[in-house]
Amino acid sequence: MIKGSRYDFEICADKGFFIKAICRKSGRYSCVTNVNIILSSLSVDGRRFDDTSWNVNNTEAAKFKAKAIEFLSNNEFLVHVEDALDEDRACGEWENKERKGEPPA
């Protein structure tokens, strides 16, 4: 898990690929793989990458995971990612909420 100032990030590269962001304040979470700043950072485009979870092979998943770890570990860039997620949340896109004692969805 990568910890930001406002969000924590889980990167899943097992049987596909997705990035889950969890708001530290509210506990709300969403898969954010298809947010524009993430798509740009992963250098992808096209309908294949429209969904929040991508059906990719193990090689592609490993490549995306390495890139995601790299850009989410850059504190200056992470601020921009978190700003974009604040905007996304303001649009009401984050309905899921983590519950203590339960595994993440």
Question: Rounded distance, CA 32 to CA 9, Å?
Answer: 9
Give the three-state DSSP class for 96.
strand
**Using one digit for the tens of pLDDT, what is the confidence trace for 74-90?**
999 999 999 999 988 88
DSSP H or E segment with residue 66: helix 58-72
How far apart CA 38 and CA 68 sit, in angstroms, is 8
pLDDT tens track for 35-69: 999 999 999 987 888 888 999 999 999 999 999 99
Pairing type for strands 96-97 and 2-3 reads: unpaired
Task: Note the Cα 25 to chain centre separation in Å.
Answer: 17
pTM of the model: 0.85
pLDDT, tens only, 3-28: 999 999 999 999 899 999 999 998 88
- Write the DSSP assignment of 9-58 as a string of letters: EEEE-SSSBEEEEEETTT-EEEE-TTSHHHHHHTT--SGGG-SSSB---H
